[in-house]
Amino acid sequence: MTPGCQVEPRLVEELYINIDPIQAGGRLTGDAIKAVNAYADGYSVCDFCTKPFRLDYIRKPGLDEFHRDLARFVSMDAARVVPGARRGFQAIARTYVEKGDPVLLTSLSHYTEFLAVEESGGVPCEVPAREGNIIMPDAVADTVEEVTRVHQRAPRLMFIEHVDYSYGNVHPVKEIARVLRQYDVMLAYNGAYTVGIMDVDGRDLGADFVVGSGHTSMAAPAPSGILATTSEHQGEVFRTTRVKGDRTGRTFGIKEVEMMGCTLMGSTVIGMMASFPHVQIRVKNFQKECDHANEVALALVSIPGTSIESEMPRKHPLTRVNTTASFDRIAKTHKKKGFFFTTALKERGITGIIPGATRVWKYNTFGLSDRQNSHVATSFRDIAHECGLLQG
Amino acid sequence: MTPGCQVEPRLVEELYINIDPIQAGGRLTGDAIKAVNAYADGYSVCDFCTKPFRLDYIRKPGLDEFHRDLARFVSMDAARVVPGARRGFQAIARTYVEKGDPVLLTSLSHYTEFLAVEESGGVPCEVPAREGNIIMPDAVADTVEEVTRVHQRAPRLMFIEHVDYSYGNVHPVKEIARVLRQYDVMLAYNGAYTVGIMDVDGRDLGADFVVGSGHTSMAAPAPSGILATTSEHQGEVFRTTRVKGDRTGRTFGIKEVEMMGCTLMGSTVIGMMASFPHVQIRVKNFQKECDHANEVALALVSIPGTSIESEMPRKHPLTRVNTTASFDRIAKTHKKKGFFFTTALKERGITGIIPGATRVWKYNTFGLSDRQNSHVATSFRDIAHECGLLQG
């Protein structure tokens, strides 16, 4: 009567050094794994949910304090947990974007921001990145003016990645916020690759909203994330329900419309919470992560024909590299084709790069120890040696 | 440097028989706990995500097959996993409801349906329950006509619970669907308390959409759920993105707008999947669950002054009982007040009733063994004996 578990266990983190570009910051801490175990059941955090019956009021476990800590962590006034950063974008777009409204994104925006704007009926308008793939404040100003001309109305909102998913470049959000303020455009800060990785001071940056991803950068299970805002906007994006049953006269207390009531019951929120003390510490050690990224990047560029497409020196461990004129040259005649490269890495205990990729690919050294990081750097050079790209 | 885990382990399921009304069906299976452990990291199911880069296409682990199985499980044509049933309601409402549109709910609708309608700018119109707290087809017909008169347009959509959260009553969805079809109103079936608990045949019931809750009734971590639909509506509620970067010309493949791209990466979807073989079996044994519910209900009504407010005999294990004229009479003079009752239950190894509740409260016997169930039934009578409500 009892069917067997059909899910093969995953052992990536146990057996390999994982440099997957999107996975590094989401890897659970030991404490999170323990907590997830103890709170795996759906409504586990709801045992002591009493009036006013909302997730961020629960005291045991201390979700109320955790919500306050989260807001403080990004220097905003209020925070909620959400099922992934994308649900944060959605809540913002659904609150402020009406059909036909232009919304500023950038040429490096993640697709989830596009979907959030699309779902709200808005029109995404990209600010183009300048050379070096950086979004510059003057380009933002130009785009605001052009969009206003074309759409006959000013954009009300801009989504901007502090660190983009494509290059891992750091964009001058603070300067962009200053420009936006002049045009009265709100700034939604996409911290999917920053919140939980590096220090984020939303107030100092001038953000109206800070969105973070639990499973990308806060060592938490998926789907999880945060949406934080200022006291000015809190009553808008976290507005409570005003609907009423027309027959019963029922109202629904202080449930928040865009949150759809409670968001992360159980293992997702508890995993976030258990990792949080570690996350608060690791953001302080961010320089080490940059040093690691640079060590690996320099090892890669020392291989003739290899270039780093991300800004150098690296200011974030998510890095994009071009090996079309190095490893891909080898792949062209190798019997394993591009797989020779990922196989060679795997033999050295390294995983996380798209199998077969030898042209433009990404890696992320976040969270590696010094030794692991040196091993990654050395391994790239070793493989280059083996296939004749490096001599001596 | 390493902070301790501040989360106290939860031992409710290990130490007690848990009859919490909302938790019983969400309790994880052993296989789910193991799978959650192995896939706790955020993007763990994404290791082998290749073109077209969407969750329901991933083959290892077999998410593609799981999605097809889910659709078949509820006899619909297509299914997606979503972060909780509420996000399914939201996707439906966002697809079909425009500002000012009347949407049918019922006087027993869950607040998340109200929020979904509110978020879309719709106007919720309740179908009143008839005596015995059942939503009858003729009341649906009357309400459609009245709403059409008042709003000058016909409702396009009705949300209906097959089993409501308040009484655990079974409503005649099939007959209601027949009425709705005459008025060309789509039916969104809320299976938060049925999908994963009892057999649900969406096609036979005449549902246009079937929504289920993973953490309420499918032994899965939160937030999780499913949204299934027919081939007729699949292109609407699961429509793919059409947005385009105005500068870059980027498009975003087959990401689905209402899903916001991928939904449940990692432990949530894997937990659902690992429990699924068990869930498929348990829905076939639903009669046993009803027998258990009736055993406990009959024990309760044998205590003078006690009445079951849910329909009798029980057709679902979620049950609402009124002990105002029995246990609450004792509470009035007891030094522990209402807590005497939940304390007495706890001494007998039973938990899950709101602490202090002695008037109207709910319990759910789902998933108990025969022995556990008899123990619950006996315990209620024992406590009644002890406090003099039962003689002999």
Sign, CA torsion B201/B203/B207/B209: positive
A5 in any annotated domain: no
Cis amide prior to B124 (ω within 30 degrees): no
Inter-residue contact B182 to B154 (CB < 8 Å) = no
Per-residue pLDDT at B239 exceeds 80: yes
Q: For B341-392, what is each residue's pLDDT tens digit?
A: 999 999 999 999 999 999 999 999 999 999 999 999 999 999 999 999 998 7
Give A136-146 pLDDT, tens digit per residue: 999 999 999 99
**Which residue among B263, B282, B301 closes a domain?**
B282
Please tell me if residue B215 touches chain A, with a CB cutoff of 8 Å.
Answer: yes
N residues, chain A = 392
B275 and B145 in a common domain? yes
User: Has residue A182 got a pLDDT over 50?
Assistant: yes
Write out chain A residues lying below 8 Å of B107, CB-based. Answer: 245, 247-248
CA B160 to each of CA B24, B89, B106, B109, B157: distance values in angstroms, whole numbers, following the listed order: 22, 11, 7, 7, 10
Helix runs in chain B, H state only: 12-15, 30-38, 63-73, 85-96, 111-119, 137-151, 173-183, 202-205, 214-217, 231-237, 267-282, 286-301, 327-333, 339-347, 370-386
Share of chain B above pLDDT 90, in %: 96
Mean pLDDT value across residues A305-334: 98
Same domain, residue pair A200 and A178: yes
Mean pLDDT of chain B: 96
Considering the domain boundaries, does residue A16 fall inside one? no
Do both A352 and A278 map to the same domain?
Answer: no
A253 in Cβ contact with A199 (< 8 Å): no
Q: The domain spanning residue A362 has which CATH number?
A: 3.90.1150.10
Tell me which residue in A1, A119, A124 faces B258 most closely, judged by beta carbons.
Answer: A119
* B259 and B113 together in one domain: yes
Residue B190: inside a domain: yes
Residue B1 scores a pLDDT above 50: no
Q: Do B51 and B132 fall into the same domain?
A: yes
Say what the alpha-carbon torsion angle A274, A277, A282, A284 is, to the nearest 10 degrees: 160
Q: Is residue B10 part of a domain?
A: no
pLDDT at A3: 53
Query: Contacts of residue B101 in chain A, CB cutoff 8 Å?
Result: none
Confidence class of residue A8 from pLDDT cuts 50, 70 and 90?
A: confident
User: Is the C-alpha dihedral spanning B278, B280, B285, B291 positive or negative?
Assistant: positive
Encode pLDDT of A271-302 as tens digits. Answer: 999 999 999 999 999 999 999 999 999 999 99
Total domain count for chain A?
2
- Of B251, B282, B313, the one marking the end of a domain is B282
Together in a domain, B198 and B235: yes
Per-residue pLDDT band for B2 (boundaries 50, 70, 90) equals very low
Q: Are residues B265 and B289 in the same domain?
A: no
Residue identified by tokens 């509740």 is: B357
CA distance A378 to chain B (A): 24
Same domain, A314 and A244: no
A187 and A327 together in one domain: no
Q: Which CATH number belongs to the domain containing residue B232 in this structure?
A: 3.40.640.10
Mean pLDDT of chain A: 96
Q: Is B312 helix (H, G, I), strand (E, B) or coil?
A: coil
Residue A8 domain-assigned?
no
Cβ-Cβ pairs closer than 8 A, A with B, add up to 299
Structure tokens at A275: 């990792």
Tell me the HSE value of A355 on the side-chain side, using a 13 A CA sphere: 9
**B292 in the same domain as B270:** no
pLDDT at A4 > cutoff 60: no
What the block records as the tokens of B345 is 């239950």
Predicted confidence (pLDDT) per residue in B91-146, tens digit: 999 999 999 999 999 999 999 999 999 999 999 999 999 989 999 999 999 999 99
Report the residue of chain B nearest A14, measured CA to CA: B38
Q: Which domain holds residue B375?
A: 285-386
- The span from the CA of A311 to the CA of A319, in Å, is 9
Q: Please answer whether residues B228 and B210 qualify as being in contact, where contact means their C-beta atoms are separated by less than 8 angstroms.
A: yes
Res. A1 pLDDT band, cuts 50 70 90: very low
**Structural domain includes residue B154:** yes
Sign of the alpha-carbon dihedral angle for A268, B33, B293, B280: positive
| Same domain membership, residue A267 and residue A251 | yes
Is residue B87 in some structural domain?
A: yes
The reply to whether A322 touches chain B by the CB within 8 Å rule is no
Q: What pLDDT score was predicted for residue A2?
A: 46
The answer to the question of residue B11 being in a domain is no
* B357 shares its domain with B242: no
Task: Name which of B290, B346, B358, B347 is nearest B319 in CA terms.
Answer: B290
Residue ending a domain, among A241, A260, A282, is A282
Write b or e for each residue in B87-105: b if 16 or more Cβ atoms lie within 10 A of its Cβ, otherwise e. Answer: bbbbbbbbbbbeeebbbbb
- In chain B, what percentage of residues exceed pLDDT 70? 98
Percent of chain A with pLDDT over 70: 98
Closest partner CB to B220 (pick from A22, A42, A258):
A42
Contact A118 B242 (CB under 8 A): yes
Given a cut of 90, is residue A392 above it in pLDDT?
no
